[in-house]
Amino acid sequence: MKALLLYPRFPETFWSFRHALPFLGKRSSYPPLGLLTVSALLPSAWERRLVDLNVEDLREKDLAWADVAFLSAMLVQAPSLSELIARCGAAGVRTVVGGPITSAEHAAWRDADHVVVGEAEEIVKILSHDLAAGQAKRFYASPCRTDMTRVPPPDLHLSRMRRYSSMPVQYSRGCPFACEFCDIIELFGQVPRTKTAKQVLAEFDRLYDLGWRGSVFMVDDNFVGNRRAIKGLLPQLAEWMARRRNPFSLFTQASINLAGDEELLSLMRASRFNRVFVGIETPVEESHRAAGKTQNANTDLLGSVRRLQEHGMEVMGGFILGFDQDPPDIFKRQIAFIKEAAIPISMVGLLTALPNTRLWRRLAGEGRIVRQSIGDNTAALLNFIPKMDAETLLAGYREVVSTLYNPKEYFERARVFLSRLGPSTRERRSFSDYLALIRSFIRQGIFSEYRRSYWRFLGNTFLRARRHLGLAVTLAIMGHHFFILARNTESKRPG
C-alpha cells in the first residue's frame, strides 16, 4: 500500500509566524508530529510520503501515486482539510482523518471515508489491516489512552527538514490541572503519561544523525506536568547535550508553578531550555478561580515571570480576554501587566469555547453558545455570548493587540526583558541565522516604517546587553510578524 500523509494548511494566525519565518528562509515552524508518528506505526512494507501544505504544494502526481491518504488536523485547519478531502475524493484516493478536529462533529471531515477519534496509536494497526483488506469501517475510536512507553519515534526523515525552523519531540501527554477552557485534558486526560528517558534520547539521537542542529520544540502541553518524571529525564538530557557540544536549543510549554521550583529551573537551564510558553491568561484573580486555573490563583504572577527570565528563559505568555469576571478596566490591566512583566511575545486571544470542554458544556447549558469555534482565539470573533457587551469586548481586544504590537511599545518591552534576562544559554548560530540578520537589517532597518525604534532597540542592546544581541535580532524579526497581524486584526470584524 502507498500512504500519503497530508497535513492541511494553517491560516494566518499569531501562531503561524508566517511573517517572521521568511527572514530565516523557513516556511513553517515544525513538521506534523502526529502524522509522522502514525507513519511510524504503519506496516513496514507500506510506502509513505508526506506532503505538508504549509511548506509545499500537493501535486496531482502525489495523488495518482497514493492508495490512501492520512490527514490530521486541528480546528483551525478545517477549511484546508475539507479542500484536501475533496481533492482526494476527486482523485479516487481513500481518506482517513484524525487529530483533535475529530473529537467533535465537524463539517470539515463529513466527506472523509474513515474517521479516527482519539489517540491513534491503539488504532493504526487494526485500521491498516482493514484498509489493506478493503474492509475499513467508517469510525475507529481509541479504546484507551496510549501507553507512551510504546510510542515509536516519528518518521521525521520524511519531512523536508530544512523548511522548518524547529523539530518537534514529545515527552508527555496530559496535564494535572483542570482549566475550564482547556481541551488538552479532555483529549489526553489529567494524569500525565510520559515516554522513558531512553525513548526521548533515542529521538534526540535520530535528529542529530539526520543532521539537525538548532531549535527543538518539546511539544508537551505542560512539560512540567509530572515533575518527578521530568527531574529524572533532565540530567540525562543535559548530559546528552554536553557530550555533543549542545547541538540544540530547547523550548516548551509549562505551567507557572515551574517558577517556584529552583531545582527544575536549574535542570532546564543545564539542558539548554531558553524559551517557555506559559498560560498566564489574566491578571484578575477571580477569573483564575472561576476558570479552575488554580495554579495561577494566589500566585505572584509578575514575580514568577521575572524569576523565569532571571533564569535565562524567555517567557512567551498566553492571555485571554472575555472571562465572565472581567472588570470594565480589563483591557488597561492586561496591557499594564504585560508591560510590567516585559513579555515581548504575548499571545492575547479571546476566550473561545472549544468543543467538549467544561467551558463549552457550561455555556451550552446557559444557552450562550452561538457557533462552533474556529480554533483561532486571536481572530476577533466570539463563539459565545459574553457577560460584557460583545462590541465593547471586541473593541477592547483590538485595542489591546494594537497597543501591545505598536512597534515602539513592543521594542520597549523587549528592551526591558533583555535587561532582566539572566545569562541565557548561547544559541548555536547557523548560516540561515546570518542570512536572517542581513534580511532583518534591510527589511526592518531600511525599509520599515518603524526603523527608528528598531535601530534604537538594537543599539541599546549593543551597548547594554551585548551578549543578547542575537536574541534581540530574533525578537525584532518575531515582532515584525505581530506588527502585521495586529494591523490585520484591526480590519477583522465580527461575523
Q: Which residues bind ligand SF4 (CB under 6 A)?
A: 175, 177-179, 182, 184-185, 221-222, 255, 279
Q: Which residues of 59-96 are buried (b: 16+ CB within 10 A; e: fewer)?
A: eeebbeebebbbbbbbbbbbebbbebbebbeeeebbbb
Minimal distance, residue 112 CB to ligand SF4, in Å: 28
- Sign of the dihedral through C-alpha 117, 144, 169, 222: positive
> What's the CA angle centered on 322, arms 382 and 377, to 5 degrees?
50
- What is the nearest approach in angstroms of ligand SF4 to the Cβ of residue 37? 20
Any residues with CB less than 8 A from the CB of 80 and at least 6 apart, and which? 8, 9, 10, 11, 53, 73
Q: Half-sphere exposure of 88 toward its Cβ, with a 13 Å CA cutoff? A: 29
Q: In whole angstroms, what is the distance from residue 364 CA to residue 359 CA?
A: 8
Q: Determine which helix (DSSP H) or strand (DSSP E) holds 84, and give its type and residue range.
A: helix 78-90
Minimum CB distance to ligand SF4 smaller for 75 or for 175: 175
Residues 239/270, Cβ–Cβ less than 8 Å: no
| Least separation in angstroms between CB 358 and ligand SF4 | 10
182 vs 458 by CB, closer to ligand SF4: 182
Nearer to ligand SF4, 222 or 444 (CB): 222
Q: Which is nearer to ligand SF4, 120 or 354 (CB)?
A: 354
CB of 190 to ligand SF4, least distance (A): 8
The four Cα atoms 466, 468, 474, 477 give a dihedral, to 10 degrees, of -50
Closest by CA position to 186, among listed 353, 37, 395, 322? 353
Shortest separation between residue 255's beta carbon and ligand SF4, angstroms: 5
Contact yes or no for 192/173 (Cβ under 8 A): yes
Nearer to ligand SF4, 158 or 350 (CB): 350
**Cα–Cα dist 76/364, whole Å:** 21
Give the Cβ contact number of residue 149 at 10 Å. 11
Looking at the Cβ atoms of 178 and 297, the one nearer to ligand SF4 is 178
Residue nearer to ligand SF4 on the CB measure, 98 or 279: 279
Q: Give CA separation, 327 vs 171, 188, 324, 351, 389, in Å.
A: 38, 33, 9, 15, 12
CA distance linking residue 139 with residue 126, whole number of Å: 12
Q: Which is nearer to ligand SF4, 4 or 280 (CB)?
A: 280
CB of 318 to ligand SF4, least distance (A): 8
Contact criterion met (CB below 8 Å) for 412 and 454 = no
Give the DSSP per-residue string, 439-485: HHHHHTTTSSTTHHHHHHHHHHHHHH-GGGHHHHHHHHHHHHHHHHH
Q: Select 219 or 250, whichever has its Cβ closest to ligand SF4.
A: 219
> Which CB atom, from 11 or from 176, has the smaller least distance to ligand SF4?
176
Question: In whole angstroms, how far apart are CA 98 and each of 5, 307, 399?
Answer: 11, 39, 37
Q: Which amino acid is at 127?
A: L
Q: Given the complex with ligand SF4, which of 181 and 450 has the nearer CB atom?
A: 181
As measured in angstroms, the least distance from the Cβ of 222 to ligand SF4 is 5
C-alpha distances out from residue 329 to 72, 323, 332, Å? 40, 13, 6
Query: In whole angstroms, how close is the CB of 168 to ligand SF4 at the nearest point?
Result: 17
The one-letter code for the residue type at 295 is Q
CB of 451 to ligand SF4, least distance (A): 38
Smallest distance, Å, CB 41 to ligand SF4? 25
Distance CA 224, CA 176 (A): 10
Between 221 and 326, CB nearer to ligand SF4: 221
Element (H, E) at 244: none
Q: Smallest distance, Å, CB 383 to ligand SF4?
A: 18
Q: Minimum CB separation from ligand SF4 for residue 178, in Å? A: 6
